[in-house]
Amino acid sequence: MRTIARRVGMAVLGATLLSLCASAALAGGAAGQLGSILKRAQQVHDLQITDEEEQKLGAAVSERIRQRYGVVQDPAVHKYVTLVGAVLAQASDRARVPWKFIVLDTDGVNALAAPGGYVHITRGALSLMKNEAELAGVLAHEVIHITEKHTMKAIQKGKMIQMGTSETLSSSPALFNKFVDKATEGVMAGFGRGEELESDEKGLILANKVGYSPTGLSDFLTTIKERNSGSTEKQGLFASHPEMDERLKKLERGIADNKLASTATVEARFKKNIPYQPVPLGAVATVEAGSAGLTGGGSAAKSSDAKPADAKNAKPEDAKKDDQAASDDGKKKKKGFGLSKLMGSGGGEEQKSAEVTGSAAGRGLDKERNAKGGANPAPVAVSVTAADITAFKKEGNLN
């Protein structure tokens, strides 16, 4: 008991010093005996991570994601998605990151951003989109997770990784692997509310900047909401969850506040390049949460009579009704998202997340996340030149 109390006391002291230290840039020498305590407390938080390390880490995380869901072995689809992504990435704050856009071979609807420029979007997500502006909206949101280094910051804020005083990601494979574990968990589970809203708003601005209609993301989220509202599954509550409505309202406000008025939707080009039909939620085959990566067997239950257009006919009234039903139900399924939850209470001061929306592509729904994946994790090589991007922008009336 005593030991525990003392340890807690020290941790609190350490934390206080840490914040003082951060603001006053206290020199190590002056701290005397406290130095070692301080050092231990600071390690993960203060670890300098180079862009190169971040990129290597992202590559490892991406490999796990690819193992889990498989990769669509279609160079044309990859080239198209890469072109849309490249237009956005070029206009972002981190244009020089070696961006990769990867289409995952699963009916589940999801999008996942790994550090260092690895953006993943599922075949299922593409199948629900109506035009290029929606794709751009989702990709822009994921790009912002990376430009803002949300995963790296969450790991460091969590302080749950133990490390030796002189370790760096490059010098210690063990530390590197711990980061890969935490980053993968975090990416799969989704970010916190603050990160999501930040990605939403900055993503809107980014998509608009290159000429896409800024309503792309909210149009897509609305489709997801409607897709899930028809589900009898418990997870389907995601569809009409108040957080989703809050998020949609914020998106609308973001467009108004920032006076975003771009108009390109590029529907014809999207339809020409993306051949997928959505698989209804009820027909999405899943795997046990624990058996990630071992799914094998190609893509699941392809339903050829699936119609993509249900969403188009849905009315706001229906949506409101659903919300009402959900709240009457009294099931405020506040799933904790983000790394702070996964890492236990270590995320302490981090805002407790009421996030249920996960990524732009609806990570809140277990069925989508636990969807079965394809068997081939091999990346599909795509070569996109500067001239390709210029031509692509011109064709789509983009900036």
Give min distance, CB of 101 to Zn ion, in A. 16
Q: Are 264 and 396 in contact (CB under 8 A)?
A: yes
According to DSSP, the residues that pair with 286 across neighbouring strands are 371
The residue among 191 and 392 lying less far from Zn ion, judged by its C-beta, is 191
Residue range at the interface with Zn ion (CB under 5 A); choices 228-236, 338-346, 355-363, 365-373: 355-363
Q: Are 276 and 302 in contact (CB under 8 A)?
A: no
Residues 167-196 that bind Zn ion (CB under 5 A): 196
CA separation (Å) from 243 to 154, 192, 197? 21, 12, 11
- CA dist 74 and 60 (Å) reads 22
The residue among 53 and 196 lying less far from Zn ion, judged by its C-beta, is 196
Give min distance, CB of 242 to Zn ion, in A. 18
The residue among 364 and 374 lying less far from Zn ion, judged by its C-beta, is 364
The residue among 196 and 219 lying less far from Zn ion, judged by its C-beta, is 196
The residue among 199 and 299 lying less far from Zn ion, judged by its C-beta, is 199
Give min distance, CB of 111 to Zn ion, in A. 7
Residue range at the interface with Zn ion (CB under 5 A); choices 88-96, 130-138, 170-178, 359-367: 359-367
Burial status of residue 336 (CB atoms within 10 A of its CB: 0-12, 13-18, 19 or more):
middle
The residue among 132 and 196 lying less far from Zn ion, judged by its C-beta, is 196
- Give the position of tokens 């409607």: 226
**Listed residue (142, 321, 306, 337) closest to 239, CA to CA:** 321
Q: Are 393 and 232 in contact (CB under 8 A)?
A: no
The residue among 199 and 262 lying less far from Zn ion, judged by its C-beta, is 199
Residues 250-279 that bind Zn ion (CB under 5 A): none
Nearest residue to Zn ion, using CB? 359
- Alpha helices for 215-362 (secondary structure H): 216-229, 242-257, 267-273, 310-313, 316-328, 339-342
Give min distance, CB of 39 to Zn ion, in A. 34
3-state SS, residue 231: coil
- CA dist 177 and 112 (Å) reads 20
Q: How many residues bind Zn ion (CB under 5 A)?
A: 3
Work out whether 359 is an interface residue with Zn ion (CB under 5 A). Answer: yes
Give min distance, CB of 357 to Zn ion, in A. 8
Give min distance, CB of 146 to Zn ion, in A. 10
The residue among 79 and 225 lying less far from Zn ion, judged by its C-beta, is 225
- CA dist 272 and 238 (Å) reads 31
Q: Are 134 and 152 in contact (CB under 8 A)?
A: no
- CA dist 252 and 221 (Å) reads 12
CA separation (Å) from 86 to 24, 101, 140, 378? 41, 8, 10, 21
Residue range at the interface with Zn ion (CB under 5 A); choices 33-41, 124-132, 306-314, 356-364: 356-364
Binding mask 196-235 for Zn ion (x = CB under 5 A): x--x------------------------------------
Binding mask 315-354 for Zn ion (x = CB under 5 A): ----------------------------------------
Give min distance, CB of 204 to Zn ion, in A. 13
- Give the position of tokens 């209609």: 213
Residue type for position 35: G
Residues 82-121 that bind Zn ion (CB under 5 A): none
Give min distance, CB of 281 to Zn ion, in A. 20
Q: Are 337 and 356 in contact (CB under 8 A)?
A: yes
Q: Are 360 and 199 in contact (CB under 8 A)?
A: yes
Give min distance, CB of 112 to Zn ion, in A. 9
Give min distance, CB of 60 to Zn ion, in A. 20
Question: CA 11 from chain center: how many Å?
Answer: 32
Give min distance, CB of 106 to Zn ion, in A. 18
The residue among 84 and 113 lying less far from Zn ion, judged by its C-beta, is 113
The residue among 97 and 382 lying less far from Zn ion, judged by its C-beta, is 97
Q: Are 110 and 359 in contact (CB under 8 A)?
A: yes
The residue among 196 and 226 lying less far from Zn ion, judged by its C-beta, is 196
Which residues of the chain form contacts with Zn ion (CB under 5 A)? 196, 199, 359
